[in-house]
Structure 1
Amino acid sequence: MAPLNIINGPKPSPVAINMAILTIISHEPDTFIAAFAGSIIFVVSAIDFAIWARISLFAASMIVGLTCSEFFAQLLSKLSDKLFGLALDVPSGVGAVVGAAAAVRLLMYLSIKPKKAGSVFDRHFRKGEK
């Protein structure tokens, strides 16, 4: 396997660059900063990965934080109401922090293969296969 060369690697397509720019500018600055902070929290806690993997996971975490900020804000509002009886209006920035820090880690947890049982995905989607 050839080593990954980030500097001289394949160049991103103009479509990917435009999508990244639109994703960034379509959100409020506080949501962007919060997703960045959540991504930093995730990358700092992901010390068991190589640097190139951390860079990729940072980008994925940032994208998840930006795109799912409203979902996580609503989820936190509902949880605070159900668990504590507090009717809170959680801002999208808080949802971005939680989404960026937790979503990629949750997906990684679900895809881990324990020694005997397989991953959570394997257990639910491959019931007939052995």
Structure 2
Amino acid sequence: MKIRLFSFGFKYGRPEADTVLDVRFLPNPYWVPELKEHSGLEAPVAAYVLKSQAGREFLARLEPFLAFLLESHRQAGREDFSCAVGCTGGRHRSVAVTEHLRRFIAEAAHGDALEAFHRDIGRRDDETTTNLP
């Protein structure tokens, strides 16, 4: 099965995916001056999001659910599965969660092809719409 994970910013449009996760409830590094200009690819930003109480609880619930979804899709003979993870701008929270899920899925690989990317990570704050998929 080909698994496609990607982050996105809701303010740039909702993408087409089998599963869309909204992580705007997680703590937002955008409002922390020393984290704002960084991304969820960087350890301090990822830790701020994922090691928070909400982040830890979310991942504890999400990981078994995602494992169930992937196994169910495999058993149904699905060839593709896509999961989009969104936050407001697609730079901090959604990126950190997507990278965590990429590592989680890679560790439990069943010979699946895994692709992960970050649709909106490089966009500016003043951009509000997109024609991206």
Decide: shared fold, TM above 0.5.
no
TM-score, length basis structure 1: 0.28
Structure with greater helix percent: 1
Structure with greater strand percent: 2
